Amino acid sequence: MTELQLSTAIEQVLVARNPRHMQTARAALQPGYYLRAAQHLFRNRGTVLIGTGFPVSETFETDGPVGAIALYKAMETLGAKPVLACGAPLSQHLLEDYRVLQLQARDLAAAEREASDKLAQLQPAVVVSIERPGLSADGRYYNMRGEDITPRSAFFDPYLQQAQCPTIAIGDGGNEIGMGNIRDAISGLDITPAVTGCDELLVADVSNWGAYGLIALLGLWAQRDLLAEVSPLAILGYLSARGSVDGVTRENTLTEDGLDAGHGQQVIEELRQLTGFDSSD
């Protein structure tokens, strides 16, 4: 199959379960969005800024960081310099093991200044957002329950808005950075939609899985089975030990959006088969 056909197949796999109506979001996007996004990453081997971390209660949820860590490791393998961007407490837990940009601004004006300074310093080749809350039309952040989480949400939107490089965002509900690209199409969903856009919006049933879609294509081009090196269960265990919770249940379990790690692993196997890597290898 052609690369466009492969991307389209990946896009279908990633919304096949459709718990939060991401098939509706997919229909609003031009096919090949995973292909286009992966091309940005593959051709740019400089600094890749990966924003993640969605606040739940006083901690962070598992959806987002799992995919961000997987993509970080894949990009590092390919010779890039990935940097994870997140707010506390997630940022503090990752400092020992990863390059981390701590998002510290407490209001949008300060965040815009912070983004300007950090982007000038880092000069990223690509900026990626994975399950980051996106600003709504009223300038606030809301979770899937409609609760205002602004006081606990670090600001990452300005990094995509000010970036002088390609920007990619992954979401699974409608209230994440990037969903501004299809705001009208998702207006009927039971969510307070985000208005922040990006160059390439990627959707998936679980945002972590969107990272796997990118890694599948990167591995194909690099002729290396990068997805075989990803263990959702291991990353969930790493995050759980640092206080993560499932965003749906709000419990400290080895799950993402109410699903056990086996679901993510199954998605990985489906993607490996699509890209020609036998899951039995």
Per-residue pLDDT of 70-127, as tens digits, reads 999 999 999 999 999 999 999 999 999 999 999 999 899 999 999 999 999 999 999 9
Residue 249 clears pLDDT 60, i.e. is over it:
yes
- Residue 18: pLDDT band (50, 70, 90) is very high
What pLDDT does residue 279 have? 55
**Binning pLDDT at 50, 70 and 90, where does residue 21 land?**
very high
Q: Which residues of 197-208 are buried (b: 16+ CB within 10 A; e: fewer)?
A: bbbbbbbbbbbb
d(CA 215, CA 211): 6
Residue 44 one-letter amino acid: N
Nearest-Å Rg of the Cα atoms of the chain is 17
Phi, psi values for residue 115, rounded to 5°: -60, -45
User: How do beta strands 55-56 and 59-60 pair?
Assistant: antiparallel
Say how many C-beta atoms besides its own lie within 10 A of residue 162's C-beta. Answer: 15
Homologous superfamily (CATH) for 3-273 = TON_0340 (3.90.1640.20)
DSSP 143-178: -TT--B-GGG----HHHHHH-SS-EEEEESSSSBTT
For residue 281, the model assigns a pLDDT of 47
